[in-house]
Amino acid sequence: MRNMLGNLRGALSQFDWTVLWSPYYALLLIGLYVLYAFITEKIRRPDEAETTLAQKFMMLAALFVYYIGFGSPLDVLAHITFSAHMLQMVFVYMVAPPLLMLAIPGWAFKRLFGVPYLGKALRFFTLPLIALVVFNSLFTFYHMPFIFDYVLTNYTVHRLFHGTLIFLSMTMWYPIIAPVNEEDSLSDLKKMVYIVANGVLLTPACAFMIFSQSFQYDAYQDPATFAKVLAYCLPNNDVSGLNMERLFGTTKDLLEDQRFGGVLMKLGQELVYGIFFGLTFFTWVRRSKSTAVDEGMSFSPKAD
What predicted TM-score, i.e. pTM, was given to this entire model? 0.90
pLDDT by residue, tens only, the chain of 304 residues: 555 555 677 778 889 899 999 999 999 999 999 999 999 999 999 889 899 999 999 999 999 999 999 999 999 999 999 999 999 999 999 999 999 999 999 999 989 989 999 999 999 999 999 999 999 999 999 999 999 999 999 999 999 999 999 999 999 999 998 777 655 568 889 999 999 999 999 999 999 999 999 999 999 999 999 999 999 888 888 888 888 888 887 888 999 999 999 999 999 999 999 999 999 999 899 888 877 665 555 545 544 4
Is the CB of residue 104 less than 8 Å from the CB of residue 170? no
Give residue 6's pLDDT.
56
Give residue 287's pLDDT.
81
Give residue 203's pLDDT.
94
Q: How far apart are CA 106 and CA 19, in angstroms?
A: 37
Q: Which of 184, 233, 252 is nearest to 79 (CA)?
A: 233
Give residue 243's pLDDT.
87
Assign 32 to helix, strand or coil. Answer: helix
Give residue 304's pLDDT.
45
Give residue 21's pLDDT.
95
Q: How far apart are CA 77 and CA 64, in angstroms?
A: 18
Task: List C-alpha distances in Å: 166 to 37, 93, 132, 162.
Answer: 21, 7, 14, 6
